[in-house]
Amino acid sequence: MDVKAAKALQLSALLQPEKIRSKPSGASSLSISREPHKKFLRVSVSVKLQPVRTSTIRRRVAPLEVTRSYENIPASTLESGTCHALLDEELILKSRSQEIDPYLNGRCIYLVGMMGSGKTTVGKIMAQVLGYSFCDSDALVEEEVGNSVADIFKHYGEAFFRDKETEVLHKLSLMRRFVISTGGGAVIRPINWKHMHKGVSVWLDVPLEALAQRIAAVGTNSRPLLHYEAGDAYTRALLKLSALFEERGDSYANANARVSLEKIAAKLGQRDVSKLSPTAIALEALEQIEVFLKEEDNNYAER
């Protein structure tokens, strides 16, 4: 074991009671190994915590267990403390997911938002931490039609794609324990909301400039509505995204919870939303879901 790195990764520093509202049960382990070329580390951490009961819902409280392996971490990253932050986030995510689990009661989570808002990236993290399965409604349409989204738009048109999207959302509304990344345009049909309201919906609200940056970086091959023939990628994407948002902004606001990247950045004292990690966004999503679910629970109790 690398002693300097182990010191940098004191487990006690991870157990911040005010953040995770839990206390250690004593079971924790850490192993660190150095890759042969000496620059990279493999870190494996396992922490088991006994949560303190805070919710009003009666439930059995399971211990909180997080096991994470990080491959190819530069030793400098670990020693700088970045690793602490990653592991802290992991524990907080897990704690938050346990907090909302009994209120969710197996209902699916639907992520809505513009193209490139991070529904897939953030959704996978949420599914993992909640012990849910993840699925992407676009991928299900592609599977059913046997073509990529881009080819479906090209050969059959948008209306055909929208019908398939509605069919897929209907099927998903009969399922439990899924985090679903929906297509950016799924919000425009009221019938889709009828399906999505069977679960809990979350709007990932990302400033259009940040979206345009991401789209310009990955290209528009899989996003036919943003396709452009020529010109500056960022400007083209921003123009198209702005036009779409003009039509859809109100529909996204139908979601049960809203995750505003601008608000997260303000909370963290950051100026640039593009610096926010998908994990920090997933954490805010769980917090906003918790707010919605507790309000729903209170309204139910008052009736």
Ligand X SMILES: Nc1ncnc2c1ncn2[C@@H]1O[C@H](COP(=O)(O)OP(=O)(O)O)[C@@H](O)[C@H]1O
Ligand Y SMILES: O=C(O)C1=C[C@@H](OP(=O)(O)O)[C@@H](O)[C@H](O)C1
Please give the Cα distance from 244 to 26 (Å, whole number). 52
- Which residue number has the CB closest to ligand Y? 183
From ligand X, ligand Y, none, which one binds at residue 138 (CB under 5 to 8 Å depending on kind)? ligand Y
By CB under 6 A, tell whether 276 contacts ligand X.
Answer: yes
Structure token pair of residue 159 = 């209306």
Q: How far apart are alpha carbons 212 and 220 in whole angstroms?
A: 11
Q: For strand 40-51 and strand 64-74, is the pairing parallel, antiparallel, or unpaired?
A: antiparallel
**Measured distance CA(258)–CA(264) in Å, rounded:** 11
Question: Which one of the spans 51-59, 70-78, 114-122, 264-272 is the region binding ligand X (CB under 6 A)?
Answer: 114-122
The binder of 118, among ligand Y, ligand X, none, by C-beta within 5 to 8 A per type, is ligand X
Report the residue from 22, 95, 181, 220 that binds ligand X according to the rule CB under 6 A.
181
Residue number with CB closer to ligand X (11 or 153): 153
Size of the site for ligand X (CB under 6 A): 14
Would you say 103 or 178 has its CB closer to ligand Y? Answer: 178
Between 42 and 162, CB nearer to ligand Y:
162
- Residue 62 burial (CB < 10 Å; 0-12/13-18/19+)? exposed
Q: Are 224 and 149 in contact (CB under 8 A)?
A: yes
- If the CB atoms of residues 8 and 206 are measured against ligand Y, the closer one turns out to be 206
CA dist 241 and 219 (Å) reads 14
Write the binding mask 47 to 66 for ligand X: x where contact by CB under 6 A, - elsewhere. Answer: --------------------
Nearest one of 7, 42, 8, 14 to 28, comparing CA atoms: 14
Whether the CA torsion 276, 282, 283, 289 is positive or negative: it is positive
199 touches ligand X by CB under 6 A? no
Contact between 86 and ligand X (CB under 6 A)? Answer: no
Dihedral Cα 250, 253, 255, 256, nearest 10 deg: -150
Closest approach of ligand X to the CB of residue 128, in Å: 14
Given a contact cutoff of 8 angstroms between Cβ atoms, the answer to whether 32 and 1 are in contact is yes
Residue 148, sorted as left (phi over 0), alpha (psi -120 to 50) or beta, turns out to be beta
Q: Which is nearer to ligand X, 262 or 296 (CB)?
A: 262
Q: What is the DSSP letter of 10?
A: -
Shortest spacing between CB 241 and ligand Y, in angstroms: 9
Tell me which stretch binds ligand X (CB under 6 A): 53-61, 71-79, 118-126, 160-168: 118-126
Q: Does 185 bind ligand X (CB under 6 A)?
A: no
Is residue 182 a contact residue for ligand X (CB under 6 A)? Answer: no
Nearer to ligand X by C-beta: 118 or 185? 118
